[in-house]
Amino acid sequence: MAEELYELDENLPVNPVESLLRMDRMPHIWCPGCGIGTTVNCFAQALESSGLDLRKTAIVSGIGCTGRVAGYLNLDSFHTTHGRAIPFATGLKLANPELKVVVYSGDGDLSAIGGNHFIHAARRNMDVTVILINNSTYGMTGGQVAPTTPMTAVASTTPYGNFESAFNLPALAESCGAVYVARWTAFHVRHTTKAIKEALLKKGFSFVEILAPCPTLYSRRNKLGDGLAQMVYYRENSEIRHGADTKDVALEFQGKIIVGKFVDRVRPTFGEAMDRYLRERLGADYLPATAGGA
Amino acid sequence: MAEEKKKKAAGSVVITVERCKGCGFCVEFCPPHALKLSDQYNVKGYHPPALISREMCNGCNMCGMLCPDFAIYGFLQNKKSGKGSDRER
């Protein structure tokens, strides 16, 4: 068996995800059992099957464990300041409306430090795809309580358990105006891939929340076992409910997880609204940046 | 190919042993349960996965989708190309 394990054969097929990764930066920093790498597989496959021009696709991340994704993907990528992934993405999209801009970051980055940017990008219906990896804690900085940490969960800053209500991110995104809202877990790889593909092809602010295990900080402090145990929990406690009212999908500590595609609607994007309004207002004097607008 | 013969789809996996961190996702969630954690260690000290038997693998690539370390990849074996795509070659 040992010889077989270490045998290398150049004729063997190469892992297809490698063409989208910067393999010189591997191995990555994520812990054993972390679910972020799994979501990267889903993203890579969704991107390939979406048929988008990779030379016109940009990925923007903030700071944190998930923020490293931009550095590992072999696309035009932008590793920005903490919480400011969406403002950078907005600027990128407005300056070059031809680009498909994807924000790939964590819950702490997008919903806490960057919470304001998140709600305003959704309100404006900025044409960006936001993929939020929710591991329920601040992984990179040491497991502090995050706005997504469920009630009663132990974090390094809440040794007796968390007493703050957690954000219900799908409800937040929907109420602010996102046109596509879905939630899956790192266990649901096929569903996640499909959701990311739909989000990438959707015009407007599309939002996919993916729950992922954080075995080193969140699971360990809460005595939930390793990453695999958390994935088994996702398998056994997830309920697929497409079109569910996002008010009913709040997460509880080790409770039932409602997953599915919750919102898929059409609203004018920021660029379309700007073009339409200014064309009415200014007539022939208005020169739009591109035919389609941002 | 499936229409020609009523055989199960034959697949195999490619494992980049040194990239594995032994999380066990591939072993736990392999639909035909064709994988196990090996007794061997890689240089980082983790147990990488290994196929229990090649007949069990159906090449669905669920292991590849789940692997957070891009260390395993399942593929359908093309019998016409002979042993070129066979990992035991």
- Say if CB B75 and CB B67 are below 8 A apart: no
- In angstroms, the separation between the Cα of residue B30 and the nearest Cα of chain A is 12
Q: What is the pLDDT of residues B47-80, one digit of tens each?
A: 999 998 888 888 898 999 999 999 999 888 765 4
Dihedral over Cα of A184, A189, A190, A192: its sign: positive
Q: Least CB-CB distance to A13: which of B39, B67, B85?
A: B85
- Residues of A whose CB is below 8 A from B25: 33, 38, 227-228, 231
Q: Where are the domains of chain A?
A: 21-267
Residue from the list A4, A36, A235 with its beta carbon closest to the beta carbon of B68:
A36
- What residues of A are in contact with residue B40 (Cβ under 8 Å)? 1-2, 5
- Exposure string (b/e) for A133-163, b if CB count within 10 Å is 16 or more? bbbbbbbbeebbbbbbbbeebbbeebeeebe
Kindly indicate whether the ipTM for this predicted assembly is greater than 0.85, answering yes or no. Answer: no
In order of start, what are the domains of chain B with their CATH numbers? 11-78 (3.30.70.20)
List pLDDT tens digits, range A205-252.
Answer: 999 999 999 999 999 999 999 999 999 999 999 999 999 999 999 999
The average pLDDT across B12-25 equals 90
* DSSP, res B61: -
For testing contact with chain B, the best of A1, A3, A8, A9 (most B CBs within 10 A): A9
pTM of the model: 0.88
A131 to A88, A110, A174: CA distances (angstroms):
15, 10, 15
Chain A residues near residue B62 by CB distance under 8 angstroms:
189
Nearest alpha-carbon partner for B59 in B12, B3, B14, B21: B12
In chain A, what residues touch B16 (CB-CB under 8 Å)?
A: 15
What pLDDT, on a 0 to 100 scale, did the predictor assign at position A159?
A: 93
Interface contacts (A, B; CB < 8 Å)? 100
Distance CA B80, CA B86 (A): 11
What is the Cα–Cα distance from A22 to A72, expressed in whole angstroms? 5
CA dihedral A147, A112, A135, A92 (to 10 degrees): 160
> Do the beta carbons of residue B30 and residue B62 sit within 8 Å?
yes
Measured on CA atoms in the order A26, A30, A36, A38, is the torsion positive or negative?
positive
> In whole angstroms, what is the distance from residue A32 CA to residue A140 CA?
14
Q: What is the pLDDT of residues A171-196, one digit of tens each?
A: 999 999 999 999 999 999 999 999 99
Q: Give which of B16, B28, B65, B75 to mutate to test A binding, by max A Cβ within 10 Å.
A: B65
User: Looking at domain A21-267, which of 3.40.190.10, 3.40.50.970, 3.30.43.10, 3.40.50.2300 is its CATH number?
Assistant: 3.40.50.970
Distance set, CA A151 to CA A11, A220, A225 (Å): 52, 16, 19
**Nearest residue in chain A measured CA to CA from B37:** A5
CA nearest to A237, candidates A216, A253, A225: A253
Residues of B in contact with A236 (CB under 8 A): none
